[in-house]
Structure 1
């Protein structure tokens, strides 16, 4: 790391025992991992080179950040924000992938060109290989550095690891979701994406999630950082469950936060566009291009059910009790509560 860059958090390599356990079950990337800061945020080792750069990134007053723990309704909210801010340009929204309109800031942290090439089942130098390598190794940070304003920035990094001037300069939408639903969706995601190569059932994945051994966890540290800042004028804290229960009201709330007046007709059309059936068919947001490139497991899809409370289909009595104790322990002393599904 460049010693001239300000970065107040220690980055420690994951110990050998935990690394061995993780790589035994996540057979895809076969990379090393680190834990960052006092909360021990868990990332692949690419964070060493990218994290300090992000922390010192220059923020523009027109930036809009969407911050979430993975699998918290991120893509859904990205589309909502982008359309509000771009005067409901549905033609562009359907034509241009969400990954280009609303890049992931830390995209290249997990993948680089060497890792991308290792997942190609095609001959070297083919157009397909070139396309996949470009997709997997794209550096969101570098893309955003060169992007014109306004920038729409997706990140799963916690607030403490984001640029120091962020909250005083730009708008931040944070979406939280019941951690049990997050775990279920995350499990299906690592089963879907062949780059993870996850070998195990849901109980095994829950073990990793609970012990903060999946990227961007610990979950509660991440959410509680944002919850503490929920009354900041530049922060809008939302629950995925609220979006599911009353999407029109949620759209109005986001529109007000972003200073974008909306009509009832505009809200109704956006609700229709964001409905699960339409969203699942939308090639610009459902990542089906990755299937064509051989990155998705057959029988799985990026868009699954689009509802809250589905965790009950995965948690037996023992896991449910364990999860409730974990939630109660982490919410003790706070007023953070998750809405009923």
Structure 2
């Protein structure tokens, strides 16, 4: 099926109709944030699931019960998805934790007024592309990716769900002087997970012992998450996500794009990246 069949265009980007019906988009527009809310913001396939595991454990000071008993989409729900309407989020005790794939310009009035804490996770866009290609091939609610070359052009030009990676990252980096936002890279978390957990805890005002940090990091190692049915999306029906085609939690590594890109695709991507990001002063760990 085509984009016209499966997607709705909302504020300039494609959103999958099946999980973003009009009532869910309206719900987010009207949503009231609290100052102590924690919002995980990512472009899709940039480490959202990982942060949905880490953040509740940091806030609970290592209590594993939530990550062992609640699916991550209810544990840390996406505010723009239909599930958010059903979960009575306004009744949740503080601090609440949510996720969103929205660009910064898409955030509602309450967000800009209240300024909740934001964990903004970035990932090498070549790995985002590679992970997305496999994901789009197994998820029935998304337009099939086609060939790698075809999908590359869609990805570079923002013609996939949630639009352009480049615009998403640049938009959120414009707020880099605001102290309620922490920027962290997927690659940093792979290189030093314990250090990343400590950094997140400090940002969220949690003083955790070395023992608790180690406990959280161990629980959030990729292979442990892959085996946790509350985190690996095995509870999602096969007709929605066919994990026989590709696992939702696939590899959890940095640099897998090198096993996927052709030389021509690498040259095309590099040239596009250099042009789109030439005015960005932020130092990315993959540059």
The TM-score normalised by the length of structure 1 is: 0.77
Preserved CA contact (<8 Å) 2:145 2:151: no
- Aligned structure 1 segments of 4 or more residues deviating by more than 3 angstroms: 44-53, 144-147, 291-295
Change (3 A) 1:74 1:171: same
1:200 counterpart residue number = 146
Q: Does 1:43 align with 2:32?
A: no
Count of aligned residue pairs for this structure pair = 283
Would you say the 8 A contact 1:55–1:161 is kept in 2? no
Alignment counterpart, residue 160 of structure 1, candidates 102, 105, 110: 105
The match for 1:307 among 239, 253, 258 is 253
User: Which of 49, 53, 66 is the aligned partner of 1:92?
Assistant: 66
Report the CA distance between 1:56 and its aligned residue: 3.7
Q: Is 1:316 aligned to 2:262, yes or no?
A: yes
Following superposition, the deviation at residue 332 of structure 1 comes to: 1.1
Q: CA deviation at 1:207?
A: 1.8
What is aligned with 2:8?
Answer: 33
Match of 1:255 in 2: 201
SS of equivalent residue, structure 2 residue 161: coil
Q: Which runs of 5+ in 2 are unaligned?
A: none
Q: Whole-Å Cα distance in 2 between the matches of residues 195 and 297 of structure 1?
A: 14
Q: 5+ unaligned residues in a row in structure 1: which ranges?
A: 1-22, 109-137
Match of 1:66 among 31, 40, 45: 40
Higher relative contact order (CA 8 A, sep 6+): 2
Q: CA deviation at 1:319?
A: 0.6
**2:117 aligned to which of 171, 183, 207:** 171
Deviations 1:226-253 (A, max 9, x none): 1121231111111111111111111111
Match in the other structure for 2:80: 106
| Aligned-residue offset at 1:160 | 1.5
Measure how far apart 1:162 and its partner are.
1.2
* Alpha carbons 1:179, 1:219 under 8 Å: kept: yes
* Structure with the greater alpha carbon radius of gyration: 1
Which string of whole-angstrom CA distances, capped at 9 and with x for unpartnered residues, describes residues 161-200 of structure 1? Answer: 1122325431111101111111111111111223326162
The 5 A counterparts of 1:203-242 are 203-242=149-188
Q: Would the alpha carbon gap of residues 212 and 35 (structure 1) be closer, same or farther in structure 2, given more than 3 Å must change?
A: farther
CA RMSD after TM alignment: 2.2
CA distance in 2, matches of 1:147, 1:319: 48
- How many angstroms apart in 2 are the aligned matches of 1:199 and 1:219? 16
Measure the CA separation in 2 of the matches of 1:193 and 1:32.
13
